[in-house]
């Protein structure tokens, strides 16, 4: 194959421009590596008249990404529009219907519609690749789908949202409250247009659901991910966790359990000295566990022009080289469904809440938890104002169900002033 | 493609048996992922009558690996014999001549003959893959060749010999001398039959030369790797380095410099708090730096049945899926040669040697180094017996050439009792 691979790129934000730059600046290197030239034929974005820092005049322009996707003179549709539905999905489906291969960075679209899109692609013999949708420049989709393909994957663990990790590590280093660091991150442009995607764990949950599908041969099930955001983490939690030798991370875990597939993206305490505990700022880290390989740890920049464009190019070069792998590592029609087993694996939990400052309040709480089957490892009241006192409890190992049941008994004690913050402790 | 991929496996040591086990125990999963069954047709090893823990009677047996490689009923020759020449090379070449694809774990063979074997394979349209040759189960060859294919690779850094890392971390934790820990490692079976392959850095140097070829598009040049072993590292060095906040690691670095390609595998001081500094025991870690992606860190088990078999299976499944990538990421005939530029990048150095306990000895050494253009940052004498005193020097940033020149002046001072140990300090 020496005819060029012709791309149509929809979406010219940071990542799209990053891809254009790589293709231009490294044309010779890419051709040597791919065995054929890689060319951009046509492009599309919301606004044509906008200074993007490089000249795009030599590429055909389409206002409508669907029209771009259907052009006869492209082989691969590169979808960098974003958003789970709307133009991104329409154009992707149009490209597949026209028999084009698709490379996308769109985790939301695949988390919600991955199964149907992958089935449509297979039906048409089109490839659908998404390295850039998970963990930026880290080639984790490839590592899982191909590098560890000889393994039964037992567990995936990861920090996959750089913005949350930035906020949490910045709270730790600065002592600033969540709201202040959130405002900083916003000012720095680190947050999605809808910041809930970041801080509620949705974006990271999307990514986890995609890796789960590959790892366990199951249909993407984003609804099956237990999601908790970082919005209730206080500087107290950060400090108390640090005192006990932990860091708080928005941690994704996916694993098969006897009860089904557990997927969760929740703030957890992890040992401060572990590689995950030491992860700073916007870096992502994914740990893949396989029955043969043991534990493989991958880390790198989780976002940004260069890293994400690097991941897009990995998929593009694969296609140029003739590499075709099923979207989720096996035919989409062979992916199974697994029962949802959220937090099936027991763990100790960190609890923080505020008590009415009444005599015997702490004892009442301890009794309520104990009666509900959750036993307490450590417990302390660490300061109080006139009416209320913050309390910290570390439980013995328990299931999340038992914990939730126990926490539901607390209001009846009449002494609990705030909803508890409950964070799982992962010893890793 | 639904016809099976038929393997001939030569070499039934730990890794070979690991591969057989995976293929047997996970036949259904592998077939789903590969789109076709993966089968073993025939096997070969030095001794037939040996209990390998599993029954091998259903596979055809060949005493001669060359005969195995040439069998009409195999598609892929899996070379797990080892050794740079002899039967491994003969059989690999025979397989290629017969148009078979080859999967090998043999770093020595490829480090010394990779260019000619890769050219022969290309000439025949045969694939030659070697994921298992570098860093055990870590899919680093794939990450570099495919995952980061859109990058100009700027540097590779890595700890790629688990045995050396075990010895060095064990010295650190136990306070035992090199010879004692070496004996321990030997008793535990961690060392190669010829332990110099491990402790002289040869095995790790082989691996680095293979990654270099992919990264920089250059022909494998193992002779161009500056090699230093760990045999002269004393417990003093470990302790002194720790006091200064460093750990000693057998560190591989490959990078393009204005003077040529620098490749070295030498013991270095790295910051104790860095991921490399914290690497314990037999774990390997490889850091890949690319112009778009920044820094990607990969770590995992560097050896052992499961991890290495996992890497072999990655290549086998690639072939079953029809994935074909040039051995070193681009056609072997397009790989260039680069001038050898060892230690082109300057750094500070750690020096340890023993002085005759004479008045003014330290001053003489300082003057000699200074006259030769190497300036001293820190210097201390840290104990002495009747006649001699150990001395520790940390230099300012200097080139290795300048340092070697300066060290060559020391004998003329008449006060230096032992050859200096000189270790590069890598701030990473």
| Co-location of B206 and B124 in the same domain | no
Answer left, alpha or beta for residue B249, where phi above 0 means left and psi between -120 and 50 means alpha.
beta
- Which chain A positions have a beta carbon within 8 Å of B334's beta carbon? 32
| Co-location of A42 and A63 in the same domain | yes
pLDDT, tens digit (0-9, with 9 covering 90-100), for A91-140: 999 999 999 999 999 999 999 999 999 999 999 999 999 999 999 999 99
Q: What share of chain B has pLDDT > 90, as a percent?
A: 89
Rg for chain B (alpha carbons), in Å? 24
Neighbours of B367 (CB within 10 A): 13
- Could you tell me if residue A340 is inside a domain? no
| Co-location of B165 and B298 in the same domain | yes
| Co-location of A92 and A183 in the same domain | no
Position A269 scores a pLDDT of 98
Neighbours of A226 (CB within 10 A): 17
pLDDT at A1 over 80: no
CA atoms of B361 and A259, how far apart (whole Å): 73
- Which chain B positions have a beta carbon within 8 Å of A34's beta carbon? 149
| Co-location of B390 and B356 in the same domain | yes
Q: Hey, CA dihedral for B370, B373, B379, B382, is it positive or negative?
A: negative
Global pTM reads 0.96
- Could you tell me if residue A21 is inside a domain? yes
Stretch 349-378 of chain B: residues touching chain A, C-beta under 8 Å: none
Specify whether the CB–CB gap between B311 and B137 falls below 8 A. yes
Determine contact: A293 vs chain B, CB below 8 A. Answer: yes
- pLDDT confidence band for B384 (50 / 70 / 90): low
List the alpha helices (DSSP H) in B137-234. 140-142, 162-174, 178-187, 196-199, 202-216
Average pLDDT of the residues in B61-90: 98
Q: A195: distance to nearest CA of chain B, Å?
A: 25
> C-alpha angle A246/A249/A252, rounded to 5°?
125
Last residue of a domain, one of B113, B133, B153: B133
Last residue of a domain, one of A87, A103, A133: A133
Position B344 scores a pLDDT of 72
Least confident segment among A260-264, B92-96, B223-227, B413-417 = B413-417
- The reply to whether residue B151 touches residue A310, judged by beta carbons under 8 angstroms, is yes
- The reply to whether residue A150 touches residue B295, judged by beta carbons under 8 angstroms, is no
CA atoms of A301 and A304, how far apart (whole Å): 8
- Could you tell me if residue A35 is inside a domain? yes
| Co-location of A147 and A123 in the same domain | no
pLDDT, tens digit (0-9, with 9 covering 90-100), for B306-349: 999 999 999 999 999 999 999 999 999 999 999 999 767 899 99
* Count of domains for chain A: 3
| Co-location of A88 and A204 in the same domain | no
Last residue of a domain, one of A116, A133, A150: A133
- The reply to whether residue A152 touches residue B321, judged by beta carbons under 8 angstroms, is no
- Could you tell me if residue B278 is inside a domain? yes
Specify whether the CB–CB gap between A298 and A288 falls below 8 A. yes
Position A384 scores a pLDDT of 64
- The reply to whether residue B146 touches residue A292, judged by beta carbons under 8 angstroms, is no
| Co-location of B120 and B149 in the same domain | no
CATH code of residue A395: 3.30.70.260
- Could you tell me if residue A335 is inside a domain? no
Retrieve residue A170's tokens: 């910045």
Retrieve residue A367's tokens: 């009794």
Cα A322 to Cα A36, A126, A226, A325, distances in angstroms:
10, 12, 38, 10
**Residue B243, domain extent:** 140-302
What is the separation of C-alpha B392 from the centre of its chain, rounded to a whole number of angstroms?
29
- Could you tell me if residue A421 is inside a domain? yes
Count of CB pairs separated by less than 8 Å, A with B = 183
Average pLDDT of the residues in B130-156: 97
pLDDT, tens digit (0-9, with 9 covering 90-100), for B30-48: 999 999 999 999 999 999 9
List the alpha helices (DSSP H) in B125-161. 140-142
Position B428 scores a pLDDT of 81
CA atoms of A267 and A161, how far apart (whole Å): 12
Q: What is the residue whose two structure tokens read 């394979």?
A: B121
- The reply to whether residue A296 touches residue B297, judged by beta carbons under 8 angstroms, is no
pLDDT, tens digit (0-9, with 9 covering 90-100), for A183-205: 999 999 888 889 999 999 999 99
- Could you tell me if residue B415 is inside a domain? yes
**B207 noted as active-site residue:** yes
| Co-location of B191 and B220 in the same domain | yes
| Co-location of B216 and B171 in the same domain | yes
Position B252 scores a pLDDT of 98
pLDDT, tens digit (0-9, with 9 covering 90-100), for B336-346: 999 999 767 89
pLDDT, tens digit (0-9, with 9 covering 90-100), for A149-175: 999 999 999 999 999 999 999 999 999
| Co-location of B151 and B242 in the same domain | yes
- Could you tell me if residue A282 is inside a domain? yes
Q: A261: distance to nearest CA of chain B, Å?
A: 18
| Co-location of B289 and B159 in the same domain | yes
Position B192 scores a pLDDT of 86
Smallest Cβ–Cβ distance between A150 and the set B32, B317, B323 belongs to B317
Stretch 187-246 of chain A: residues touching chain B, C-beta under 8 Å: 217
pLDDT at A345 over 90: no
Neighbours of B427 (CB within 10 A): 10
CATH code of residue B41: 3.40.50.720
Average pLDDT of the residues in B151-171: 97
Position B410 scores a pLDDT of 92
pLDDT, tens digit (0-9, with 9 covering 90-100), for A52-91: 999 999 999 999 999 999 999 999 999 999 999 999 999 9
Q: Hey, CA dihedral for B188, B192, B193, B196, is it positive or negative?
A: negative
Specify whether the CB–CB gap between B263 and B344 falls below 8 A. no
Position A35 scores a pLDDT of 96
- pLDDT confidence band for B209 (50 / 70 / 90): very high
More confident residue, B258 or B202: B202
Specify whether the CB–CB gap between B82 and B15 falls below 8 A. no
ipTM > 0.85 for the complex: yes
Retrieve residue A269's tokens: 């305490």
CATH code of residue A290: 3.30.360.10
């Amino acid at each position: 194959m020496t005819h060029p691979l012709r791309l149509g790129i929809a979406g010219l934000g940071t990542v799209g421009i990053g891809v254009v730059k790589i293709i231009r600046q490294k044309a010779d290197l890419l051709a040597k590596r791919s065995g054929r030239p890689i060319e951009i034929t046509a492009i599309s974005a919301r606004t044509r008249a906008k200074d993007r820092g490089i000249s795009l005049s030599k590429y055909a322009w389409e206002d409508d990404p669907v029209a771009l996707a259907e052009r006869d003179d492209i082989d691969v549709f590169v979808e960098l529009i974003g958003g789970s539905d709307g133009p991104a999905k329409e154009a992707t489906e149009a490209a597949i219907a026209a028999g084009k291969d698709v490379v996308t960075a769109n985790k939301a679209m695949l988390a919600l519609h991955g199964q149907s899109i992958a089935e449509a692609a297979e039906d048409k013999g089109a490839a659908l690749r998404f390295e850039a949708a998970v963990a930026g420049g880290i080639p984790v989709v490839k590592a899982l789908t191909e590098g560890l393909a000889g393994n039964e994957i037992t567990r995936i663990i990861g920090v996959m949202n750089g913005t949350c990790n930035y906020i949490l590590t910045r709270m730790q280093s600065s002592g600033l409250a969540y709201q202040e660091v959130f405002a900083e991150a916003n000012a720095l442009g680190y947050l999605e247009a809808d910041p809930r995607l970041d801080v509620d764990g949705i974006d990271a949950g999307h990514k986890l659901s995609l890796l789960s599908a590959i790892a366990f041969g199951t249909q993407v099930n984003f609804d099956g991910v237990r999601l908790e955001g970082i919005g209730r983490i206080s500087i107290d939690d950060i400090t108390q966790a640090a005192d006990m030798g932990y860091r708080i991370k928005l941690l994704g875990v996916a694993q098969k359990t006897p009860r089904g597939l557990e997927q969760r993206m929740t703030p957890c305490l992890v040992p401060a000295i572990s590689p995950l505990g030491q992860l700073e700022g916007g870096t992502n880290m994914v740990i893949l566990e396989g029955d043969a390989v043991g534990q493989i740890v991958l880390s790198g920049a989780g976002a940004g022009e260069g890293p994400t464009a690097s991941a897009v190019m990995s998929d593009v070069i694969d296609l140029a080289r003739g590499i075709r792998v099923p979207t989720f590592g096996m035919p989409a029609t062979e992916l199974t469904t697994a029962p949802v087993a959220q937090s099936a694996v027991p763990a100790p939990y960190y609890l923080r809440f505020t008590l009415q400052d009444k005599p015997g309040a702490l004892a009442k709480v301890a009794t309520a938890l104990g009666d509900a089957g959750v036993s307490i490892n450590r417990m302390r009241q660490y300061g109080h104002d006139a009416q209320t006192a913050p309390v910290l409890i570390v439980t013995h190992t328990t299931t999340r169900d038992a914990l939730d049941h126990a926490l539901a008994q607390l209001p009846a004690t009449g002494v609990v002033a705030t909803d508890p913050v409950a964070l799982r402790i992962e010893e890793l």
